[in-house]
Chain A
Amino acid sequence: MNLFKNKIQDERVVHEQNKIYREIYFLIYTICLVSVVYKFFIYGFELKYIATEIIITLAAGIYYTVRASQKGLFSAEVEMHDNKSKWSYQTKTIVIGVATGIALGLFFGINSAVNYAETPLERVYYFFLTFATSMMFYIPILVLVLVISYSTAKHQSDKAVEEQLEDDES
């Protein structure tokens, strides 16, 4: 009996399995998020307690970006997005960086006002001081990191697409 005789895979089964893997991916993200929120309320905002969740989230994101770039899928995602959306993928990337910077500034501002200030005037002062400082720090860094990551991934992905289609003269 030849075990390798039938090379055709059941596409329906493979497709359904991939759908389940995708659901598992979201499930893991949700568990990480719930765990971070839970630990935040139990231990406060301490990075050491949520390091595992951050590593899982970051590693999965980085892995996906690298593999999607290698296979040229990132260019396809950008193309599909830009065909449908009013805002280009690159503009959205910058907006996400700025919005995340503002959100972090708000978070640290409120945290500082609530935990360290004693009088109402101090609260306002601490809030605006921390909010402005955090924004000045986080917005440029986040925008820079996201734009560099986007450009690198897009460049590598475009190269992969060209290699895949290189013997095709269109």
Chain B
Amino acid sequence: MKNLKLKVARVEHDLSQAELAEKIGVTRQTIGLIEQGKYNPSLQLCISICKTLNKTLDELFWQEED
């Protein structure tokens, strides 16, 4: 399942995938795969992303059941 919340938060901060990746210390590929829902990040990485984008874990990573 795609993580649109992350993508929206990133765009709100006017950051490209590469810029967000560099701020966190990972690769653009990793951010791209998380946004596409093809890679499950560790809790530590989720927290780093949340801190960089000033969001909570819920706001970025909680998926509502259909």
Contacts and interface: CB of A to CB of B under 8 A. Distances in A.
Contact of B38 (A75, A80, A83, A164): A164
Interface string B8-33: 00000000110000100011111011
B28 A164 contact: no
A168 interface: yes
Contact of A80 (B16, B27, B32, B36): B27
The majority secondary structure among interface residues of chain B is helix
Contact of A79 (B28, B33, B38): B28
Interface in B1-58: 16-17, 22, 26-30, 32-33, 35-36, 38
Contacts of B22: 83
Interface residues of B, number: 13
The majority secondary structure among interface residues of chain A is helix
Interface of A: 72, 75-76, 79-80, 83, 161, 164-165, 167-168, 170
Interface of B: 16-17, 22, 26-30, 32-33, 35-36, 38
